[in-house]
Structure 1
Amino acid sequence: MNLQNSTDDLQQLIGILPRSLRTVLQGLPQQHLLEIIMDVGRSPQARFSGQTVNLSADPVSPADLEQVVASVGEFSADNRAGIEGTLHRISCLRNRRGKIIGLTLRVGRAVTGTIDSIRDLIERGASLLLLGRPGVGKTTRLREIARVLADEFGKRVIIIDTSNEIAGDGDIPHPAIGSARRMQVPHPERQHGVMIEAVENHMPEVIIVDEIGTGAEATAARTIAERGVQLIGTAHGNTLENLVMNPTLADLVGGVQTVTLGDDEARLRGTQKTINERKAPPTFDAVVEIVDREAVIVHPDTAGAVDKLLRGLDPGGIRRSPQGEVVFLPEEPPPQESPRQVSTINQTGWVRIHPYALSRDTVERVIRDLRLEARTVKRPDQADFILALRSRAEDARLRRILQATQLPLYVVKKNTTAQIRRLLQNVFNILHGMPRDEVDAAVGEAEAAIKRVMEEGVTVALLPRPASMRKLQHRLAARHRLTAESVGSEPQRHLIIHPT
């Protein structure tokens, strides 16, 4: 996150302080100021990245606090206020009688370039959940996401702004959110109701909400996602694992249920009879763990990552930072149901697909729409791979077919055109707007490099490619348990594949 590309209206925050504190702050490196602390009877402090500075040897007096409180907006039920037209947040501490005895003045900045590492997820319309400790930059990223989706993509964006922290204090939203609209929340306990009201009254294409923290808000989030609205939010918790273990918020990533298996099924799976499984499809398609203001760990497939966690495995993930991308791989090889490229199956003619417990007409319609060189077949012994519902992947009959034919298995969650389309696009290496010959060239180059890395144990650099093709090459490397790293600057940015 580059603070060079930021606006902070900092002088308006400094201007509400007592004169002696303003004078001291003017001589300090304000660019890295995070917050100012004023507690009655203690020295006032300025907190910067990595250090804290005492602003005065004299303790804060009740009169000092009264001066600041008189200059800010009204404190809401969550003890937060702001300065109209800015992004700064003022939070108060109260004694047992309700009197304000301390203030935290948090600097609010509109920073650009904060979402470069996750822009591909936002552009594809994925519902995205951001996790991270307080102060790591979740709200700052939400603010820029709102502006980009509203102004650059022309989408109807509604921000649910419970503490006026995303769009600032006052009735007029801060320019940092662009043309996105903002709904204020009169009381934190009403946030879930305002979320639903936004969908019912204002026809948004995108809803952005900060700090999902209750079961009612998690239920509202699921309702929004099920209505086809792109949902961008933050939640309490630093990692995906924290969220899965949180009984209140686990529903955001599919929830957890305890299942008792029959003897045969438990033996087939090689597990105990009582296991934990994901209860439902996740509300959010992807989860981003914000490590610090520069680096994030992306889980582009929430369902897959949660399933790994519930099986006691590392969920994997992709670490992204200005220095490049590194793929973290699970501790076991990819399961058979993980998609592999068609180039590893059959490229001598039309690809033959056997739909198992799926609508053959739907699969044929997707094939026609995508203009694939493929067709469906009735018998599995005629096929190049089998396409099935995930819920049927453990059918005894299907397992016997797979054992007898040794065919690859690809699965979808639901028997819908959209899900089958996404899977076949992945299987056939189709990238939006990219000529097929260029895609095939990128795949072929990556496969040749992977073979050399595995056989010779050397590091291989690939040719510069667009971001979408680098992503495809990343996936190929990940399936062979290799680390892929993006290096260089556009348009020369390229992948380097390392041996394990």
Structure 2
Amino acid sequence: MLNADLQSLLAVLPPVLRAALQGLPSHQLLEVIMDVGRLPQARFSERAVNLATDPVSPADLERVVALVGEFSADNRAGIEGTLHRIACLRNRRGEIIGLTLRVGRAVAGTIDFIQDLIERGDNLLLLGRPGVGKTTRLREIARVLADEFGKRVVIVDTSNEIGGDGDIPHPAIGSARRMQVSHPEQQHGVMIEAVENHMPEVIIVDEIGTTSEATAARTIAERGVQLIGTAHGNTLENLVMNPTLADLVGGVQAVTLGDDEARLRRTQKTIRERKALPTFDAVVEIVNREVMIVHPDTAGAVDKLLRGLGPGGIRRSPQGEEILSPKKSPLPESTKPVSIENQTGLIRIHPYALSRDTVERVIRDLRLEARTVKNPEQADFIIALRSRAEDARLRRLLQATRLPLYVVKKNTTAQIRRLLQNVLNILHGVPRDEVDTAVSEAEAAIKQVMEEGVTAALQPRSAAIRELQHRLAVRHHLLAESVGSEPQRHLIIHPV
């Protein structure tokens, strides 16, 4: 038996498509696709079904368009009194040549896993791929806060997708009020207008996607209004890497440390840190309709990501809760620092804004099995001037290749020599086999510490080798200390 809302959607379809849909599981239907010259399809979560043997004609599209609401500037329309969304495809002349009819549903119980965050007044950001249920949850959040908690809730509804098409909001949002947006580019202005004109306790907004909207979101949060929204991106890490939306979770800035501070931290002098407090207190990654990963402390999760760890979090599902340890999500293998012992052949270096001749000269002087390459995709790592570390082109390059980046302050032989000696674990006067043994021991201990969260003690070594092992631990964002007296002084690696 089809519910009244779904009947309203099927009523705008050609009769042959309505008949085909009658025999399919309507409760699983996500959307109907109609493109000129192609077979119409019904899409479900796990499959797609052709609904006819004849392709869609322009007349079929004209019939549907005549029965739905007016298409707005974002090429979306609706059916009055329902939650369904109809989006169109246009050709170069602006003519409609395709339609996506997405089923909108009001589903109770979709926020059970995150109700604790909502009740305590957190600013909450939902992430997830399209169709995973972000808007459905926003709708249920609005109803619960307005009806069950008696709060003044205002929805900023750019595409009428949360509150439905027409002037009267759908009952699914309860007594929450809804502000419609005449043009997508005006969403940020309506967000601010909602705060200034209607005294809300909660503002709900879908699809934050521009710098202006991110700025408006921060303004709302700073005025003490609870903000709940969605943004483009599947995971918290996606958001941190997105320069447009990173401000929602605190933003990222490059910080240059002093010599003493960098030596104390045992890091490069230029590091990435969170710029400010996040706009959203908590972030929820919606994996599917039954599984969520909750980050109840956005600031802490972002800080872990910027240190090269996983963000951790709490995995919530019908089976219960699982605490996700950041140590279970170390940097991907392709981003780990390079060392000679894990190379099988020539080491390839891409100099960025550095003299290739100078790098080649250092390689010859150190008698390294290495060479420079012009194409970064062929490289094992990139070296660059510190002053160029935040170049937009370089950041895009690093994001695309996932290569390690090492920096020098000046384009000089001495600095490049020191960098390569450090990166490639070169110790003068120490036998190669002794270096290899010490490195293998340290890497095995690092792996154990990261995977098991335990402390690992290494064998007694000379000061030079301990320093090498210490650098390896720091590169993996672990803590290390030398203990004991010579000749038994050795390194202990701790989890963070």
Output the TM-score relative to the length of structure 2. Answer: 0.65
Residue among 257, 270, 273 paired with 2:266: 270
Aligned residue number for residue 46 of structure 1: 42
Residue among 230, 236, 245 paired with 2:232: 236
Q: For the Cα contact (< 8 Å) 1:258–1:276, is it kept in 2? A: yes
Aligned residue number for residue 325 of structure 1: 321
Q: For the Cα contact (< 8 Å) 1:287–1:298, is it kept in 2? A: yes
Give me the identity figure in percent: 84
Aligned residue number for residue 338 of structure 2: none
Q: Secondary structure at the match of 1:21?
A: helix
Please report how far the alpha carbon of residue 330 of structure 1 lies from its aligned counterpart in structure 2 after TM superposition. Answer: 1.7
State the number of aligned residues: 331
Aligned residue number for residue 449 of structure 2: none
Aligned counterparts, 1:200-349, within 5 A: 200-331=196-327
Partner Cα distance (2:60, 2:310) in 1 = 51
Please report how far the alpha carbon of residue 270 of structure 1 lies from its aligned counterpart in structure 2 after TM superposition. Answer: 2.4
Aligned residue number for residue 72 of structure 1: 68
Please report how far the alpha carbon of residue 123 of structure 1 lies from its aligned counterpart in structure 2 after TM superposition. Answer: 0.3
Once superposed, which parts of structure 1, at least 4 consecutive aligned residues long, lie more than 4 Å away? none
Residue among 79, 101, 105 paired with 1:105: 101
Partner Cα distance (1:64, 1:299) in 2 = 46
Report the residue type matching 2:67 in the other structure: S
Q: Secondary structure at the match of 1:179?
A: coil
Please report how far the alpha carbon of residue 269 of structure 1 lies from its aligned counterpart in structure 2 after TM superposition. Answer: 2.0
Aligned residue number for residue 5 of structure 2: 9
Q: Please give the per-residue CA displacement for 1:249-282, whole angstroms capped at 9, x wherever unaligned.
A: 0000000000001111112222211100100000
Please report how far the alpha carbon of residue 8 of structure 1 lies from its aligned counterpart in structure 2 after TM superposition. Answer: 6.8
Q: Secondary structure at the match of 1:289?
A: strand
Report the residue type matching 1:92 in the other structure: C
Q: Is residue 2:188 matched to residue 1:192? A: yes
My pick for the range that moved more, 23-32 or 87-96, is 23-32
Output the TM-score relative to the length of structure 1. Answer: 0.65
Q: Please give the per-residue CA displacement for 1:117-174, whole angstroms capped at 9, x wherever unaligned.
A: 0000000000000000000000000000000000010000000000000000000000
Partner Cα distance (1:62, 1:226) in 2 = 50
Structure 1 residues not aligned, in runs of 5+ = 333-453, 455-500
Task: Decide which structure has the larger Cα Rg and report it.
Answer: 2
Q: Secondary structure at the match of 2:150?
A: coil
Q: For the Cα contact (< 8 Å) 1:138–1:234, is it kept in 2? A: yes
Partner Cα distance (1:283, 1:207) in 2 = 13
Q: Is residue 2:79 matched to residue 1:90? A: no
Partner Cα distance (2:123, 2:298) in 1 = 10
Note the aligned Cα RMSD (angstroms): 1.8
Q: Is residue 2:171 matched to residue 1:171? A: no
Q: Secondary structure at the match of 2:34?
A: strand
Aligned counterparts, 1:420-439, within 5 A: none
Please report how far the alpha carbon of residue 286 of structure 1 lies from its aligned counterpart in structure 2 after TM superposition. Answer: 0.3
Q: Please give the per-residue CA displacement for 1:189-215, whole angstroms capped at 9, x wherever unaligned.
A: 000000000000000000000000000
Aligned residue number for residue 145 of structure 2: 149
Partner Cα distance (1:284, 1:13) in 2 = 36
Q: Secondary structure at the match of 1:144?
A: helix
Partner Cα distance (1:314, 1:232) in 2 = 24
